[in-house]
Amino acid sequence: MAQSVLLTGAAGRVGDAILGDLAAEYEWRLMDRDPPTEDYPGEFVVADITDDDAVREAMDGIDAVIHLAGDPRKTAPWDSVLTNNIDGTQTIFEAAVDAGVEKFAFASSNHAVGHYETEDRTPDMYRADDDYLLDGTELPRPGNLYGVSKAAGESLGRYYHDEYGIAVVNVRIGNLTKGHPPIDYERGQAMWLSYRDCAHLFDRCVKADYDYEIVYGISDNDRKYYSLERAKDVLGYEPQDNSAHHD
Amino acid sequence: MAQSVLLTGAAGRVGDAILGDLAAEYEWRLMDRDPPTEDYPGEFVVADITDDDAVREAMDGIDAVIHLAGDPRKTAPWDSVLTNNIDGTQTIFEAAVDAGVEKFAFASSNHAVGHYETEDRTPDMYRADDDYLLDGTELPRPGNLYGVSKAAGESLGRYYHDEYGIAVVNVRIGNLTKGHPPIDYERGQAMWLSYRDCAHLFDRCVKADYDYEIVYGISDNDRKYYSLERAKDVLGYEPQDNSAHHD
């Protein structure tokens, strides 16, 4: 029987990529703050992730969570990320461990490490011949308050894993665009994530065995300053796309 | 002229240790949520750190901030640490950079890395002949939600330093006790911080030059699983006490 997966923020862009390829792969329970405006596979729950009762109800019978919900704007003000991204993520984790969920994939972000892109390193680090690589063992260096909120989500995951044993993977998502990589934007090409690689990566987050991981979510771009080693080795991620092949 | 230092959470235990030795060292502005019940050196501002207007007013003319305020309980519930520790710290940072404050010492905690104390490592790691050492470059592994909030404070500091240039030092405070180290408690002896070493360490946080640091705040105990290297090298910390000399 297919696993039951709760997808929060289902109506967003990452949810769109995931459901585009994996609609038939799982028994989906989809959650979003706004009512659906199109057809979705599986049950659709309209609820805010900070609504503890609604979240607990939605967690019933769930095997794995893909937690995408939150304010996605890199310019989001503090009050919004505090509530939607930090408090919301804690609500989801708490309900997940109480419900006995086994796996939890958290949509973290490149913005959690945005300030590694210092004046000294850029734009060289965005280029294929530069060997600077972040691999997920480095401390966060958020580029904005949105990034601070994503780093906090990763810490919450570390705590819930260590305390309760739930498997947690944080995917620091790069620049997700449909069809082709960003044009005339070196940084975006370096951290490009295609829709199909995105869907495949989150599929691996549900199927693979792991304890606690921080991986980078990008395609196999020639330009690259995020290591794919953990995603490949631990999750079995096999990206198909490369921004260099679309120039 | 003495530097002006804003001390938040002034009436707490860490504040007590700091003011006990450094009352005459700085021009103090003290802030606490509750009105003072004893005499304090300098101006005393009664305000909650989540009160943006009060915090901005208290920041006027300040050279350095020692930010201790927050819910100090390791069992503190999420709602409290979300508001008092995470949101409160963001309020202080935001006001500090707007006021042009140069240095910011943040009272982080051993609880930000509490889950490194795994069943496999304990109690060996608490003993003098064990060489396991955390040095501040490791990712957080919070032992509780209080620890999650302290890790979030460290990330906030990283962001405000990278974005605005304010010098930030995070002191992961161990087990602060007055007079003598904890008795019959190996873990507490390993992370003991004496009152005078505490005061001296925060004195160095105001006087030393640094960019962004994470240091451990413990005395020079024979038992030790936190490195003092960064505190000594970067801050010039010279601890006087050692829990082994008090057994």
What would the pLDDT profile of A122-140 be if each residue is shown by its tens digit? 999 999 999 999 999 999 9
Q: How confident is the model at residue B246 (pLDDT cuts 50, 70, 90)?
A: confident
Question: What is the C-alpha to C-alpha distance for residues A112 and A217, in angstroms, rounded to an integer?
Answer: 13
Nearest to B90 among A78, A156, A214 (CB): A78
Give me B172's structure tokens. 């992961």
Q: How confident is the model at residue B180 (pLDDT cuts 50, 70, 90)?
A: very high
Q: How many CB atoms lie within 10 A of CB A163?
A: 16
Question: What is the C-alpha to C-alpha distance for residues B90 and A94, in angstroms, rounded to an integer?
Answer: 24
Instruction: Report the candidate in B53, B57, B208, B51 with the shortest Cα–Cα distance to residue B43.
Output: B57
**pLDDT tens string A17-49:** 999 999 999 999 999 999 999 999 999 999 999
Residues contacting B246, CB < 8 A, separation 6+:
B180, B181
For residue A214, the cross-strand partners are A170
Nearest to B158 among A94, A140, A158 (CB): A140
Say if residue A230's pLDDT is above 90.
Answer: yes
CB contact under 8 A, B148 and A144: no
Q: How confident is the model at residue A246 (pLDDT cuts 50, 70, 90)?
A: confident
Q: Which residues of B touch A142 (CB under 8 A)?
A: 155, 158-159, 162
The answer to whether the annotation marks A109 as part of a ligand binding site is yes
Residues contacting B243, CB < 8 A, separation 6+:
B181, B182, B189, B190, B192, B219, B221, B222, B223
**pLDDT tens string B35-94:** 999 999 999 999 999 999 999 999 999 999 999 999 999 999 999 999 999 999 999 999
CATH number of the domain that B125 lies in? 3.40.50.720
Q: Which residues of B touch A86 (CB under 8 A)?
A: 82, 86, 152
Q: Which range of residues forms the domain containing residue A185?
A: 4-246
How far the first Cα of chain B sits from its last, in Å, is 42
Catalytic position from the list B116, B126, B146, B237: B146
Task: Confirm or reject contact between B94 and chain A (CB < 8 A).
Answer: yes
Indicate if the alpha-carbon torsion angle A15, A18, A21, A25 is positive or negative.
negative
**pLDDT tens string A59-84:** 999 999 999 999 999 999 999 999 99
Q: How confident is the model at residue A2 (pLDDT cuts 50, 70, 90)?
A: confident
Nearest to A141 among B147, B162, B214 (CB): B162
Say if residue B247's pLDDT is above 60.
Answer: no
Q: How confident is the model at residue B190 (pLDDT cuts 50, 70, 90)?
A: very high
Residue A1 has a pLDDT of: 73
**pLDDT tens string B200-233:** 999 999 999 999 999 999 999 999 999 999 999 9
Residue A57 has a pLDDT of: 98
Indicate if the alpha-carbon torsion angle A9, A144, A167, B150 is positive or negative.
negative
Question: What is the C-alpha to C-alpha distance for residues A18 and A41, in angstroms, rounded to an integer?
Answer: 11
Per-residue H/E/C for A75-90: CCCHHHHHHHHHHHHH
Task: Confirm or reject contact between A163 and chain B (CB < 8 A).
Answer: yes
The alpha-carbon gap from A201 to the nearest alpha carbon of chain B, in Å, equals: 23
Sheet with A64-67, strands from edge to edge, namely A43-46, A27-32, A4-8, A64-67, A103-109, A167-173, A212-217
**pLDDT tens string A171-228:** 999 999 999 999 999 999 999 999 999 999 999 999 999 999 999 999 999 999 999 9
Question: What is the C-alpha to C-alpha distance for residues B202 and B18, in angstroms, rounded to an integer?
Answer: 7
Evaluate whether B94 touches B163 at the Cβ level (below 8 Å): no
Catalytic position from the list A146, A160, A225, A226: A146
The alpha-carbon gap from B89 to the nearest alpha carbon of chain A, in Å, equals: 12
Q: Which residues of B touch A150 (CB under 8 A)?
A: none
Residue B217 has a pLDDT of: 98
The answer to whether the annotation marks A84 as part of a ligand binding site is yes
* Known catalytic residue at A146: yes
Which residue numbers of B belong to the known binding site for NAD(+)?
84, 109, 146, 150
Q: How many CB atoms lie within 10 A of CB B132?
A: 15
Residue A45 has a pLDDT of: 97
Residue B1 has a pLDDT of: 73
Say if residue B171's pLDDT is above 60.
Answer: yes
User: Count of domains in chain A?
Assistant: 1
H/E element holding B176?
A: strand B175-177
Q: Which residues of A touch B159 (CB under 8 A)?
A: 115, 141-145, 147-148
CB contact under 8 A, B86 and A86: yes
Identify the DSSP state of B186: H
Q: How confident is the model at residue A91 (pLDDT cuts 50, 70, 90)?
A: very high
DSSP for chain A, written as a single string: -PPEEEEETTTSHHHHHHHHHHTTTSEEEEEESSPPSS--SSEEEE--TT-HHHHHHHTTT-SEEEE--S---TT--HHHIIIIIIIHHHHHHHHHHHTT--EEEEEEEGGGGGGGS-TTTTTGGGSTT----B-S-SPP--SSHHHHHHHHHHHHHHHHHHHH--EEEEEEE-EE-SSSPPSS-HHHHHTEE-HHHHHHHHHHHHHS--SEEEEEE----SS-SB--HHHHHHH-------GGGG-
Nearest to A159 among B86, B137, B145 (CB): B145
Residue B109 has a pLDDT of: 98
Question: What is the C-alpha to C-alpha distance for residues A11 and B102, in angstroms, rounded to an integer?
Answer: 44
Residue B161 has a pLDDT of: 98
Partner A, chain B 126-145, Cβ-Cβ below 8 Å: 137, 139-145
Say if residue A247's pLDDT is above 70.
Answer: no
Evaluate whether A134 touches A112 at the Cβ level (below 8 Å): no
Per-residue b/e over A46-60, b at no fewer than 16 CB within 10 Å?
A: ebbbbeeebbeebbe
Amino acid identity of residue A148, one-letter, is V
Question: What is the C-alpha to C-alpha distance for residues B213 and A2, in angstroms, rounded to an integer?
Answer: 47
Question: What is the C-alpha to C-alpha distance for residues A238 and A44, in angstroms, rounded to an integer?
Answer: 30
Q: How confident is the model at residue A121 (pLDDT cuts 50, 70, 90)?
A: very high
